């Protein structure tokens, strides 16, 4: 009898522990909404990302981004962070950096604060916050750095710098599974430049790869790639107006080894011409209970021409689903959950003739692009290993330090 009771209690505990982890799998996302916090305020975390922390109680998601953008100039007062066990009920954890904390910029405050990203530095045991800092009129395009010994802050201002001595606009920071950290940013608004970060993540160590012109970069790396190892979603440069997203893909396993970036458009179906009225902020890997991963696209709907304009910007979260040719596509659902798209992930794994043929085409295309790149480099007298950077625009060179 006692044994039966023990079994029942253990089973109930087991049920509770497994349902806890599964909470977020059934969370329903509705693109174009601005969720409320558990205290009833709007969640303002624009241009940000998710930082997931594994705890004994399951995954605790942290969503951070800029505070509401305000006129004049659509400037944010700071960067703030929220936490949730299920990606639906968000608790405000506080403002982690204020606009007034920023110093050392040769222009008067307030400053433009855009696209914050947080990395954990195992060497210094610090959380490092990197973001695009600028004047309201974009006169000092730089990267702001702040750090804290806890994720939820408060962060201490470190400095503003121009990575590798060049103007830096939209940016993201990415840390791969080996802990290598990179800054990916729009250099002079001419191309996306990739530079490894130094030991304390306060500086860059020189450009090592570049894509074509894009802004709003977001990096993701599938744990079991079917062809491409690395992806960067970005957008064209059309201000607050939405445009069709770009997807840069490469086969090399590290951001700095990437010599060839094949470019495509990931959004599919009706609304794809405006990426469903959104621009990428980040892509975060969502792990199901069984270890399967779903890449969730976090976009900002800037709402420049809608009621309340940019001050009423909302979010567009959508699944990135694998395609037969080894890439990913962004598909629109007015309502969806990780659970509702899981059958699509499983179907994509199955072998089919269509997939085999598509993958061979991708292989051929990639090989041809690599050869062309090599031929171009050799005929231009460059070493095939050199990074060929797109030319800088002269008007902007003067603004660079």
Ligand X SMILES: *[C@@H]1O[C@H](CO)[C@@H](O)[C@H](O)[C@H]1NC(C)=O
Instruction: List residues near ligand X by CB under 6 A.
Output: 20, 23, 57-58, 85, 306-308, 312
The DSSP call for residue 265 is -
C-alpha atoms less than 13 angstroms from C-alpha of 217 in its C-beta half-sphere: 33
Question: Can you say how many angstroms the Cα of residue 336 is from the centroid of all Cα atoms in its chain?
Answer: 20
Q: By C-beta, is 218 or 313 nearer to ligand X?
A: 313
CB of 277 vs ligand X, minimal distance in Å:
11
CB of 39 to ligand X, least distance (A): 15
Smaller CB distance to ligand X: residue 59 or 327? Answer: 59
Instruction: Pick between residue 67 and residue 254 the one whose CB is nearest to ligand X.
Output: 67
CA atoms in the 13 A half-sphere facing the CB of 278: 28
Give buried/exposed letters for 305-341 (b at 16+ CB in 10 A, else e).
Answer: eeeeebebbbbbbbbbbbbbbbbbbbbbeeebbbeeb
Name the maximum alpha-carbon separation found in the chain: 84
Least distance in angstroms from the C-beta of 11 to ligand X: 18
At closest approach, how far in Å is the CB of 288 from ligand X?
15
Nearer to ligand X, 6 or 57 (CB): 57
- Residue among 74 and 182 whose Cβ is closer to ligand X: 74
Q: Which of 250, 289, 252, 249 is nearest to 265 (CA)?
A: 249
Q: How far is the CB of 116 from ligand X (least distance, A)?
A: 23
Whole-number minimum distance, CB 56 to ligand X, in Å?
A: 9
Supply the minimum distance, in Å, between the C-beta of residue 368 and ligand X. Answer: 46
Q: Which is nearer to ligand X, 335 or 401 (CB)?
A: 335
* Nearest CB to ligand X, comparing residues 38 and 386: 38
Contacts of 57 (CB under 8 A, 6+ apart): 20, 85
User: Residue 91 or 354: which CB sits closer to ligand X?
Assistant: 91
Q: Are 163 and 207 in contact (CB under 8 A)?
A: no
Number of helices and strands in the chain (H, E): 4, 22
Locate 12 and state its tokens.
């109930």
Name the minimum Å distance from CB 30 to ligand X.
12
Q: Shortest Cβ distance from residue 379 to ligand X (Å)?
A: 54
Please, what is the end-to-end C-alpha distance for the chain in angstroms? Answer: 78
Spell out where 67-214 has E strands.
69-70, 75-76, 78-84, 91-98, 112-121, 126-134, 142-148, 156-161, 168-175, 181-187, 191-196, 209-210
| Inter-residue contact 80 to 65 (CB < 8 Å) | yes
47, 113 in Cβ contact below 8 A?
A: no
What sign does the CA torsion over 90, 96, 99, 100 have? Answer: positive
Residue with nearest beta carbon to ligand X: 308
Angle at 317 between CA 315 and CA 318, to 5 degrees: 150
Report the residue number, 20 or 156, with the smaller CB distance to ligand X.
20
């Amino acid at each position: 009898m006692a044994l039966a009771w023990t079994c029942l209690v253990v089973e109930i505990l087991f049920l509770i522990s497994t349902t806890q982890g599964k909470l977020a799998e059934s969370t329903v996302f509705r693109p174009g909404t601005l969720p409320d916090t558990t205290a009833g305020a709007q969640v303002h975390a624009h241009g940000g990302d998710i930082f997931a922390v594994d705890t004994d109680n399951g995954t605790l998601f942290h969503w951070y981004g800029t505070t509401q953008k305000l006129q004049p100039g659509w400037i944010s007062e700071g960067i703030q962070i929220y936490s949730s066990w299920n990606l639906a009920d968000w608790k405000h954890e506080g403002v982690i950096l204020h606009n007034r904390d920023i110093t050392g910029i040769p222009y008067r405050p307030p400053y433009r604060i855009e696209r914050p990203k947080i990395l954990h530095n195992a060497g210094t045991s610090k959380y490092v916050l990197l973001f695009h800092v600028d004047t309201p009129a974009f006169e000092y395009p730089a990267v702001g750095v702040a750090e804290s010994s806890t994720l939820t802050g408060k962060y201490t201002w470190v400095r503003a710098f121009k990575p590798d001595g060049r103007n830096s606009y939209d940016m993201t920071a990415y840390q791969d599974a080996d802990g290598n950290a990179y800054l990916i940013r729009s250099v002079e608004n001419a191309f996306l430049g990739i530079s490894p970060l130094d030991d304390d993540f306060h500086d860059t160590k020189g450009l090592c790869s570049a894509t074509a012109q894009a802004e709003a970069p977001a990096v993701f790396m599938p744990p079991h790639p079917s062809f491409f190892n690395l992806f960067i979603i970005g957008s064209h440069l059309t201000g607050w107006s939405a445009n069709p997203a770009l997807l840069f893909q490469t086969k090399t396993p590290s951001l700095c080894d990437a010599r060839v970036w094949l470019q495509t458009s990931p959004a599919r179906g009706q609304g794809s011409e405006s990426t469903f009225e959104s621009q990428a902020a980040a892509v975060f890997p969502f792990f199901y209970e069984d270890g399967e991963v779903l890449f969730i696209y976090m976009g900002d709907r800037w709402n420049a021409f809608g009621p309340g304009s940019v001050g009423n910007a909302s979010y567009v979260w959508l699944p990135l689903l694998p395609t037969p040719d080894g890439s990913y596509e962004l598909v629109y659902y007015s309502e969806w959950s990780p659970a509702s798209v899981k059958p699509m992930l499983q179907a994509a794994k199955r072998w089919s003739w269509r997939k085999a043929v598509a993958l061979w085409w991708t292989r051929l295309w990639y090989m041809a692009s690599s050869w062309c790149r090599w031929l171009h480099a050799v005929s231009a007298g460059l070493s095939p290993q050199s990074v060929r950077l797109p030319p800088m625009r002269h008007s902007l060179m003067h603004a660079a330090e």
